Chains A and B, each alone.
Chain A
Amino acid sequence: MGAALENAIPFAVTHELIRQGLQNLNMIAPISDISTDMLIGSGCVKTVTGAWVGNVSGGMGHNYRRAAEKGIPNSIKINDYSNFSIGMAFFAGAYGLPYIPVKSILGSDITKSNPSIKMSTNPFSDELEPVALVPALKPDIAFLVVQRSDHFGNSHIWGSTGLTQEASIAAEKIIVLADEIVEPEVIASDPSRVLIPGFGVNAVCHVPAACHPSPLIGRWKRDHEFFHNYHQETRDLAGFETWCDQWVRHLPDHEAYRSKLGDRLESLRIIGDAPSAPANYAAE
Chain B
Amino acid sequence: MPENYSTQELMIIAAAREINDYERIFVGMRLPITAYGVARLTHAPNAVGLFESGVSRYEPAKDMLYTMCDGPNQLGAAWTTGLIQIMGLLSGGRVHAGFIGGAEIDRYGNINTSYIGDFDDPDVKLPGSGGAPDIASMAERLIVIMNHKKHRLVKKVDYITSPGFLGGGNERKMAGLIGGGPAVVITDRAILRPYGPENELHLAAYHPNHTVQEILKNTGWDLKSIPDVHETASPTKVELEALHQIDKDGFWRT
Contact = CB atoms under 8 A, between A and B. Distances in A.
A126 interface: no
Interface string B138-169: 10000000000000000000011111001000
B71 A83 contact: no
Interface residues of A, number: 62
Given A83-B130, A158-B80, A108 B70 contact: no
Contacts of A108: 129, 133, 137, 160-163
A51 interface: yes
Contacts of B218: none
A106 interface: yes
A11 interface: no
Contacts of A159: 69, 71, 74, 80
Contacts, number: 186
Interface string A104-130: 111111101100000000000000011
A105 B130 contact: no
Contact of A163 (B84, B114, B162): B84
Interface stretch (B10-18, B119-127, B182-190, B241-249): B119-127
Interface residues of B, number: 52
Contacts of B82: 87, 160-166
Contacts of A218: 71
B80 A106 contact: no
Contacts of B132: 82
B74 A80 contact: no
A108 B112 CA distance: 10
Given A57-B67, A160-B53, A163-B84, A217 B74 contact: yes
Given A6-B69, A57-B66, A215-B71, A110 B133 contact: yes
Given A53-B127, A221-B71, A104 B91 contact: yes
Contacts of A235: none
A165 B81 CA distance: 10
Nearest to A66: B125
B75 interface: yes
Dominant secondary structure of chain A at its interface with chain B: loop
A250 interface: no
A163 to B, nearest CB: 5
B66 A222 contact: yes
A284 interface: no
B71 A82 contact: no
B54 A105 contact: no
B129 A5 contact: no
Contacts of A164: 82
A173 interface: no
Contacts of B55: 160
A197 to B, nearest CB: 16
Interface stretch (B32-40, B41-49, B172-180, B198-206): B172-180
Contacts of A57: 66-67
B51 interface: yes
Contact of A160 (B81, B129, B175): B81
A166 B81 CA distance: 12
A203 interface: no
A160 B69 CA distance: 7
B178 A103 contact: yes
A60 B162 CA distance: 19
- Minimum-distance CB pairs A-B, first 3: A107-B163, A54-B127, A130-B176
13 contacts: A51-B130, A56-B67, A68-B125, A83-B83, A84-B87, A107-B172, A108-B162, A130-B176, A131-B176, A163-B82, A163-B83, A217-B74, A274-B75
Interface of A: 4-7, 30-31, 33, 50-54, 56-57, 60-61, 64-65, 68-69, 80-85, 87-88, 91, 102-110, 112-113, 129-131, 158-166, 214-215, 217-218, 221-222, 224, 227, 270, 274
Interface of B: 51-55, 66-71, 74-75, 77, 80-84, 87-88, 90-91, 114-115, 119, 122-134, 137-138, 159-163, 166, 172, 175-178
